[in-house]
């Protein structure tokens, strides 16, 4: 495949995955892009190796989604060829250490206020996260669990907080995985669970979506030497 069509293919794959933050199977992607699935898989694997996309297994299918390398992904979507040339050349791409330019100012302000005013920073960050979620125009009420998780994934992408994936969903208990948490990923800070704000956002979105009280606790964190963060969600009556 010529270099130029490779670039267009990379771009189109990212475009499709970006508009489907919950993910697409390689079969769906091949159909949407109208290309051979075996050819597609070759490029998906290269993009995965470069940290642009990743997958989870659902039954026999691999469901692909973008990672939170937003700046890199956006520069590819804008048509800049340098990042793709780097990928083709096999150069190392740095893990992100910025939020990027689309993060709402209100989000920064609420975190800053929470940190400076609080005697109990973890609780205050959690509550700030709940507040952000409850005021989000993207969260609708009366949704089922599946829709609530899709909303959660979309809001996390929109706020650039990381990539949310459900590991376990039962009527009374959920486990959610968070990849590349905005709070902990790449910070090098170790020793504690760090993502109280993210836990609060999860709590707020689920509580608002389902109209029940969701209590969220971080059970694994990059800050406690795990590769990703994990959150346990329990439900109590309001």
The SS3 assignment for 135 reads coil
Q: In whole angstroms, how close is the CB of 229 to Zn ion at the nearest point?
A: 3
Q: In whole angstroms, how close is the CB of 222 to Zn ion at the nearest point?
A: 5
Q: Which window, 46-54, 74-82, 123-131, 214-222, contacts Zn ion (CB under 5 A)? A: 214-222
Q: Yes or no: say if 204 and 194 are a contact pair by the CB < 8 Å rule.
A: no
Looking only at residues 126 through 185 of this chain, which bind Zn ion when binding is defined by CB under 5 A?
Answer: 181, 184
Q: How far is Cα 139 from Cα 131, in angstroms, rounded to an integer?
A: 12
- Which of 14, 161, 195, 214 binds Zn ion (CB under 5 A)? It is 195
When the beta carbons of 20 and 125 are compared against Zn ion, the nearer one is 125
DSSP classification of residue 161: -
229 binds Zn ion (CB under 5 A): yes
Span between the terminal Cα atoms of the chain, in Å: 57
Q: How far is Cα 25 from Cα 98, in angstroms, rounded to an integer?
A: 29
Structural tokens at position 206: 């689920």
Q: How far is Cα 60 from Cα 72, in angstroms, rounded to an integer?
A: 30
Structural tokens at position 3: 């270099």
DSSP for 45-107 reads: HHHHHTTSEEEEEETTEEEEEE-S-HHHHHHHHTT-SHHHHHHHTT---PPP-S--S-S-HHH
When the beta carbons of 149 and 221 are compared against Zn ion, the nearer one is 221
Q: In whole angstroms, how close is the CB of 189 to Zn ion at the nearest point?
A: 10
Q: In whole angstroms, how close is the CB of 20 to Zn ion at the nearest point?
A: 25
Q: In whole angstroms, how close is the CB of 10 to Zn ion at the nearest point?
A: 30
Q: Yes or no: say if 164 and 216 are a contact pair by the CB < 8 Å rule.
A: no
When the beta carbons of 29 and 195 are compared against Zn ion, the nearer one is 195
* Interaction mask 56-85, Zn ion, x per CB under 5 A: ------------------------------
When the beta carbons of 87 and 216 are compared against Zn ion, the nearer one is 216
Q: Yes or no: say if 164 and 238 are a contact pair by the CB < 8 Å rule.
A: no
Number of H helices, E strands in the chain: 9, 7
When the beta carbons of 83 and 200 are compared against Zn ion, the nearer one is 200
- Which of 9, 139, 201, 221 binds Zn ion (CB under 5 A)? It is 221
Q: In whole angstroms, how close is the CB of 224 to Zn ion at the nearest point?
A: 8
When the beta carbons of 179 and 184 are compared against Zn ion, the nearer one is 184
When the beta carbons of 10 and 54 are compared against Zn ion, the nearer one is 54
Q: In whole angstroms, how close is the CB of 29 to Zn ion at the nearest point?
A: 30
Task: Catalog residues that contact Zn ion under the rule CB under 5 A.
Answer: 181, 184, 194-195, 221, 229
């Amino acid at each position: 495949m010529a270099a130029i069509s490779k670039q267009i293919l990379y771009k189109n794959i990212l475009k499709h995955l970006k508009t489907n933050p919950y993910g697409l199977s390689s079969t769906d992607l091949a159909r949407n892009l109208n290309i051979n699935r075996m050819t597609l898989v070759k490029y998906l694997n290269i993009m995965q190796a470069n940290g642009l996309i990743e997958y989870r297994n659902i039954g026999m299918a691999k469901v692909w989604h973008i990672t939170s390398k937003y700046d890199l992904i956006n520069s590819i979507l804008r048509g800049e060829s340098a990042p793709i040339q780097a990928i083709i050349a096999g150069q190392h791409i740095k893990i992100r250490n910025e939020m990027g330019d689309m993060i709402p100012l209100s989000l920064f302000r609420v975190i800053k206020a929470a940190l400076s005013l609080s005697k109990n920073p973890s609780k205050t960050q959690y509550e700030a996260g709940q507040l952000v979620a409850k005021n989000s125009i993207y969260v609708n009420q009366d949704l089922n669990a599946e829709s609530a998780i899709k909303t959660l994934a979309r809001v996390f992408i929109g706020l650039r907080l990381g990539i949310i994936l459900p590991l376990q969903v039962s009527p009374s208990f959920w486990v959610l995985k968070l990849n590349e948490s905005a709070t902990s990923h790449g910070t090098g800070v170790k020793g504690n669970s760090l993502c109280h704000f993210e836990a609060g956002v999860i709590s707020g979105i689920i509580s608002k979506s389902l109209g029940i009280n969701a209590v969220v606790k971080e059970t694994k964190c990059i800050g406690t030497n795990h590769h990703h963060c994990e959150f346990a969600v329990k439900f109590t009556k309001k």
